[in-house]
Chains A and B, each alone.
Chain A
């Protein structure tokens, strides 16, 4: 196979990887915040359920979670849904990453000094204003390095979608490698991941710099 064809096919795989990556971030970042609230809820039962959810998400392989989500409709409703493969991937990735993000959010929120809440309270801000105007913007700054870590891991984790026969970049590379009996396609895929992550790291670094106007 010529280099041109290989690059074209890998690029097609890359698009799928980028889709999984972007949609997962889009859903898991807000979902993680909601999960973090549940984890810090004053109601014991909610706290317990969320803690259990997080421990399952972190304690079992993402690959297994992908399979469970994909086959869930069959076991719950007794039938499969057409075209559920890609949604299943996004759901599994999102609820998995939401669990990790939730703990990052929680760490950030709990690291905020009490004085910030008290100053806001005395000034008459309500709880909603206090959180979204005063606390959360500062939390973002504090958690950005950890979020970057997770985001970079996510880029590489997209390759796990192969377990549901989704032809993302790594699956594509393996297929070409098998056909050509060459390791080259895999190396090129590796380079693609590396560049992808270099871009992610660059963007996150810009975010951090943007927030470095205060301490």
Chain B
């Protein structure tokens, strides 16, 4: 089914100076799929996420959300869509950052409602209702008036997940969502992501939490040196006997 493909990346390339960070990456994401991207630091997984979320401009290939192209390559030159299309595309996805990037001068509630109200024209009342529901769902009921600095890291990350969800995205990206958290706080964030997976939220997660990736993912991609080295279901991947992957997993266990 064609329109079940939410995101299609073809031959994506990204260069920083002389360094080719992404080499010919292709990836299709179906509705409801949970994909984890693992790999050593510097392998290009964060760059892939940043290119897919338009924070970084790619240097080759194409990027398509549903039936709208964000970027295509014509005669070796990348061409990005116009402002209006890109705005539409930004509404298709949400991104959860490693260090939350909440707006510190806004209350929890305003962090969540401000974008829907001022970028999509959602009525304030409706946005507040949605936000309250999301907060309750994420175990943050009663924190509406708090400021980010008054919350723990785990709570802040859950607020940032609520903020991303408030725009009802088709696909949600996570860039190492627990890497900035104390070990005892990672659990509460992973639980939230797991719940979203159960609700069939389409997600692409860059993570170092192998056990979590194994449990929650439909597919795992192992990246190294700017290419997807191996990909498959968790079982396929962890029993693949792929040399580099095993080396990477072995290093994590040390």
Contact = CB atoms under 8 A, between A and B. Distances in A.
Interface of A: 113, 115-116, 118-126, 129, 133-134, 137-138, 141, 213-215
Given A123-B115, A126-B119, A215-B149, 15 more contacts: A113-B101, A116-B103, A118-B97, A119-B101, A120-B103, A122-B90, A122-B94, A123-B119, A124-B90, A124-B119, A125-B119, A129-B119, A138-B104, A214-B104, A214-B147
A133 B105 CA distance: 10
Contacts of B115: 123-125
A119 B149 contact: no
Instruction: In the A-B complex, list the 4 residue pairs whose CB atoms are closest, starting with the nearest.
Output: A124-B119, A119-B101, A123-B115, A115-B101
Contacts of B114: 123, 133
Interface of B: 53-55, 87, 90-91, 93-95, 97, 99, 101-105, 114-115, 118-120, 147-149, 163, 167
Contacts of A118: 55, 97, 101
12 contacts: A116-B101, A118-B55, A119-B101, A119-B102, A122-B54, A122-B95, A123-B167, A124-B87, A125-B119, A129-B118, A137-B105, A214-B104
Contacts of A122: 53-55, 90, 93-95
A123 B120 CA distance: 10
B17 to A, nearest CB: 19
Contacts of A138: 104-105
Nearest to B98: A115
Contact of A134 (B103, B119, B163, B167): B103
A95 to B, nearest CB: 31
B67 to A, nearest CB: 20
Contact of B97 (A119, A124, A213): A119
Query: Which residue of A122, A124, A133 has the most chain B CB atoms within 10 A of its CB atom?
Result: A122
B236 to A, nearest CB: 32
Contacts of A134: 103
A115 B118 contact: no
A59 B105 CA distance: 36
Contacts of A129: 118-119
Query: Which residue of B118, B149, B163, B167 has the most chain A CB atoms within 10 A of its CB atom?
Result: B118
Contacts of A213: 147
A138 B104 CA distance: 8
Contacts of A215: 104, 149
A126 B84 CA distance: 11
Contacts of A119: 97, 101-103
B120 A124 contact: yes
Nearest to B90: A124
Contacts of A121: 54-55, 90
Contacts of B105: 137-138, 141, 214
Nearest to B89: A124
Contacts of A115: 97, 99, 101
A169 B55 CA distance: 55
Nearest to B95: A122
A123 B114 CA distance: 9
A70 to B, nearest CB: 43
Contact of A214 (B93, B94, B149): B149
A123 B149 contact: no
Nearest to B87: A124
Contact of A133 (B97, B118, B120): B118
